Amino acid sequence: MDPENPQLGQLLVVVPAHNEEDSLADVLKTTKEFGYCVVVVDDASEDNTGRIARNEGALLIPLANRLGAWGATQAGLRYARARGAGIVVTLDADGQHEPAHIHELTAPLLVGTADVVIGSCPIRVSRLRRWAWHYFRWLTGLNAHDLTSGFRAYNRHAVTVLSSSDAALLDYQDVGVLMLMRAEGLRVQEVPVEIGSRRNGISRVFPSWWVVARYMLETTVLCVSHLHIPGSRRGDDRATVATRDAPRRHP
């Protein structure tokens, strides 16, 4: 399967990456073993991320400027929409997400019970981050168990919504994107999956406490400004997150 000319309705895997030369090759090899078309969005990396993507046979979208995780993901979604992909799966380049779980994510999309499926593993995060999630759930009324998982599957309707300029000024793929999905009436489902730890140390999204503090402030402003009004416009209480099974707990 050729990511440059996917068949109409094909599944495309989008991997946003910034300075992930240590783990990208393994992620791409494993993903391609399952026969998936892979698009790597190189978010202005300063290392060999782009070269590795090309060497592994993935289609490379090299961004001229760093847009961040969501900006890079949206670039991949726009590409997928332009090429008529039927389902898009996003997974991280740091090796946390197992391509073997992709079929679990896509199953609800194929039977038509969801527009977006989130691979959920809330037990992987620290207590501090769980507190932050609890705080944002309280502010927004969102009921997703895993707010920040980048392991998601989108159908064509969801790709259209999230490719739009309404989503272009979001900086992160978590709360803001989930609120937009709710506002647009997308059906979101969570599926429990195993998510590992990063293969190499520092988070690209939260490299320091200062960045974390700014994230908390900016996301709070976003949540307060988008206070959910039940029954307003396209959003209503149908678009809550459904969890297929309870999250697994490791011993």
Partner 1 sequence: MISYEWTSGVIGLLIAGTILFLVRRRRLHGPYALWWLGVSAAILLISLFPQLVNQVAYRLGISYPPILSVLIGIGLLLVKILTMDIERSRQELRVRRLTQRLGILDAEIAQIKDRIHRTSPATVPFPPGNANQQMGESATDAPRENEC
CA distances from 236 to 118, 138, 141, 173, 181 (A): 20, 17, 12, 21, 11
Q: Can you tell me the distance from the alpha carbon of 43 to that of 32, in angstroms, rounded to the nearest whole number?
A: 21
User: Is position 248 an interface residue for partner 1 (rule: CB under 8 A)?
Assistant: no
Q: Which of 172, 169, 155 is nearest to 214 (CA)?
A: 172
Whether the Cβ atoms of residue 104 and residue 193 lie closer than 8 Å to each other: yes
Q: Which of 225, 230, 231, 245 binds partner 1 (CB under 8 A)?
A: 225
Taking the complex as a whole, the smallest distance from the CB of residue 208 to partner 1 amounts, in Å, to 16
Q: Can you tell me the distance from the alpha carbon of 74 to that of 146, in angstroms, rounded to the nearest whole number?
A: 20
Given the structure tokens 């994107």, which residue do they identify? 177
The site map against partner 1 for 139-158 (x = CB under 8 A) is --------------------
Residues 171-210 that bind partner 1 (CB under 8 A): 171
Q: How many residues bind partner 1 (CB under 8 A)?
A: 20
CA distances from 75 to 12, 72, 189 (A): 13, 5, 23
Taking the complex as a whole, the smallest distance from the CB of residue 200 to partner 1 amounts, in Å, to 28
Whether the Cβ atoms of residue 179 and residue 226 lie closer than 8 Å to each other: yes
Q: Can you tell me the distance from the alpha carbon of 43 to that of 24, in angstroms, rounded to the nearest whole number?
A: 13
Taking the complex as a whole, the smallest distance from the CB of residue 77 to partner 1 amounts, in Å, to 11
User: Is position 126 an interface residue for partner 1 (rule: CB under 8 A)?
Assistant: no
Region binding partner 1 by CB under 8 A among candidate stretches 27-35, 88-96, 187-195, 222-230 = 222-230
Bridge partners of residue 26, in order along the sequence = none
User: Is position 246 an interface residue for partner 1 (rule: CB under 8 A)?
Assistant: no
Positive or negative, the CA dihedral 159, 161, 163, 168 is negative
User: Is position 231 an interface residue for partner 1 (rule: CB under 8 A)?
Assistant: no
CA distances from 171 to 75, 212, 219 (A): 13, 13, 9
Q: Which of 127, 165, 230, 249 binds partner 1 (CB under 8 A)?
A: 165
User: Is position 169 an interface residue for partner 1 (rule: CB under 8 A)?
Assistant: yes
Q: Which is nearer to partner 1, 53 or 77 (CB)?
A: 77
Q: Which is nearer to partner 1, 30 or 220 (CB)?
A: 220
Q: Which is nearer to partner 1, 121 or 167 (CB)?
A: 167
Whether the Cβ atoms of residue 76 and residue 90 lie closer than 8 Å to each other: yes
Q: Which of 130, 218, 232, 248 binds partner 1 (CB under 8 A)?
A: 218
Q: Which is nearer to partner 1, 100 or 229 (CB)?
A: 229
User: Is position 166 an interface residue for partner 1 (rule: CB under 8 A)?
Assistant: yes
User: Is position 78 an interface residue for partner 1 (rule: CB under 8 A)?
Assistant: yes
Which residues form the interface with partner 1 (CB under 8 A)? 5, 64-65, 78, 81-82, 163, 165-166, 169, 171, 214, 217-219, 221-222, 224-226
